[in-house]
Amino acid sequence: MRHLLCIAAAALLSACAQQAPVKLYSGAEQPVSQVVVVEMPNTLEVLDINGQPAPAANAMVGNKTRQLLLQPGEYRINAYFENGYDIGGGLSHEVVRTRSATFKIDGNAGEVWRLEFTEPNNLKEAQDMENSFSGAAVNTRTGERVATEKGPAYVSLLGQMLGSGGVAVPDAGTAIAPLGSQQQAAHSVAAVPAPSQAATPVQTLPADAATLSTLKQIWLMLSPQSREAFIDWTAQ
């Protein structure tokens, strides 16, 4: 577990240093003129794309605009606002996480789509939009604006993994296929049976972006006392 934590920390530091666009299509890397670029602010987190968890889309950190690279086609991106605000004179902070909104994109090769919403100016404004988050997907080439629809409630990656009593394992790759494509129809998330049903026990979690995202979600769920106890344990 300590080894996995070290790997996750190294991956996080690497993400801080590199802000390259995230490739979410299969096959060899294509020039920008052949793919769809989706730009999103750093306070927007992806819940799923076309119903498929996409932890790589949230792997980027920092204040820069994120860029996702997708095959031309139709996408439904469920994304939510998340940001922390200082309270109590900076001694603590509160994280606001809204319900998701569904950003709809039908992109052609070479297009850039930007996911937009009105950024709250303070904690109160952020809290006011917790259950009414909305925005629009904007085609920067044509000016087309597609208003969002109300998306599903936030579920952490950990919750997605444990929701069916087993462990939901995303595809080995990070590819997201357009809606209606043969690849998208063939996509499935494998369910590993719970330990009592599995033929062999699950050994370890993979050292990848999905694991890092899960560890981050677990950390956010811990109380200050639990975090302190965990840090003490890792130092042993």
The string of pLDDT tens digits covering residues 77-89 is 999 999 999 887 7
Per-residue pLDDT tens over the stretch 16-61: 444 689 999 999 999 999 999 999 999 999 999 999 998 889 876 6
Quote the pLDDT of residue 181. Answer: 82
Per-residue pLDDT tens over the stretch 195-217: 444 444 444 565 665 667 667 76
Ranges 55-59, 102-106, 176-180, 207-211: which has the least confidence: 207-211
Strands (DSSP E) found in the chain: 22-23, 36-40, 44-49, 66-70, 73-87, 92-97, 101-107, 112-116, 136-139, 145-147, 149-150, 167-169, 190-192
Estimate the crossing angle of helix 209-221 against helix 2-17, to 10 degrees. 100
Q: Which residue has the higher pLDDT, 201 or 3?
A: 3
Quote the pLDDT of residue 61. Answer: 61
Q: Which residue has the higher pLDDT, 44 or 166?
A: 44
The mean pLDDT value for 80-109 works out to 91
Q: Which residue has the higher pLDDT, 183 or 164?
A: 183
The average confidence (pLDDT) of the chain is 78
Q: Are strands 190-192 and 167-169 parallel, antiparallel or unpaired?
A: antiparallel
Quote the pLDDT of residue 168. Answer: 43
The mean pLDDT value for 160-187 works out to 63
Q: Are strands 36-40 and 112-116 parallel, antiparallel or unpaired?
A: parallel
Say whether pLDDT at 133 is over 90.
yes
Ranges 33-42, 134-143, 219-228: which has the least confidence: 219-228
* Residues shown for the chain: 236
Quote the pLDDT of residue 226. Answer: 72
Say whether pLDDT at 177 is over 90.
yes
pLDDT band at 141 (very low <50, low <70, confident <90, very high): very high
**In angstroms, how far is CA 125 from the centroid of its own chain?**
23
Contact present, 75 and 49 (Cβ < 8 Å): yes
The mean pLDDT value for 115-133 works out to 96
Contact present, 54 and 99 (Cβ < 8 Å): no
Quote the pLDDT of residue 161. Answer: 55
